[in-house]
Amino acid sequence: MTSRAFPLALAGVLITALTSAAHAEMAISVYSGFQTAPHSDIDLSDGTDFRAGWEGRSFESPPYYGVRGTWWMDGLGKPNLGLSVDFSHAKVYADDETLASSGWSHFEFSDGLNLLTLNALYRMPIGGTKFVPYIGAGAGVNVPHVEVTRGSGKTFEYQFGGATLQAQAGVAYEFSRNWAAFLEYKGNYSWVDVDIDSSTTLKTQILTNAVNVGVSYKF
């Protein structure tokens, strides 16, 4: 599977899973925005440790984006409670200072940290308006595309990275019965444990912060 096809396959699984539910208010959302990540410590099993500075480069190819399916529990008498499955193609690149200090020529997760989470949501409609604030939190997994070149060793592949936690808060504007736009903050904390060349294990924890703008179709 190509590096571009894998995130799209995950997004397809997300949509199929959520649309299988019946007798409920469903929503499919797509979004993009500005995503960053603070520094994190890199721990290698060969004893090489350093601190990495990360760049998000949200609008460079492949861009940062996400897709989300949401099931609101109106059919269960809980119209303001919901469950969502959220896939986001978050990404990070080691900055020039990190590459210079580590001696690595290439270090990034630019075909995605690929975060897939299950989340609980709570919405708070404002009476008499079309604005609907909401909050959410959840957990899931990260499947990064590991890209490391150091000396003659090279790693370029998808791997299972570990667990991910997610928190979000935003506001939607329902401009028609079926369509809404939204603005939100979304943060993910990911434990990444992957293999690179020479049977070396790389571990780090990456916090991604994103301000998203998106659109939802409800049915």
**CATH top class, domain 5-218:** mainly beta
* 99-114 mean pLDDT: 97
Is residue 10 scored above 90 in pLDDT? no
* 181-193 mean pLDDT: 98
Is residue 2 scored above 80 in pLDDT? no
* 30-57 mean pLDDT: 97
Is residue 17 scored above 60 in pLDDT? no
* 147-154 mean pLDDT: 96
The rounded mean pLDDT for the chain is 93
Instruction: Return the percentage of the chain with pLDDT > 70, whole number.
Output: 89
Is residue 20 scored above 80 in pLDDT? no
* 111-136 mean pLDDT: 97
Q: Are strands 66-73 and 25-36 parallel, antiparallel or unpaired?
A: antiparallel
Strand order across the beta sheet in which 54-55 lies: 54-55, 92-94, 106-109, 145-150, 153-158
* 127-131 mean pLDDT: 95
How confident is the model at residue 19, as a pLDDT? Answer: 53
Lookup: tokens for 174: 């329902």
Under the banding of pLDDT at 50, 70 and 90, the label for residue 77 is: confident
* 128-142 mean pLDDT: 97
How confident is the model at residue 74, as a pLDDT? Answer: 86
Which pTM does this prediction carry?
Answer: 0.89
Under the banding of pLDDT at 50, 70 and 90, the label for residue 3 is: low
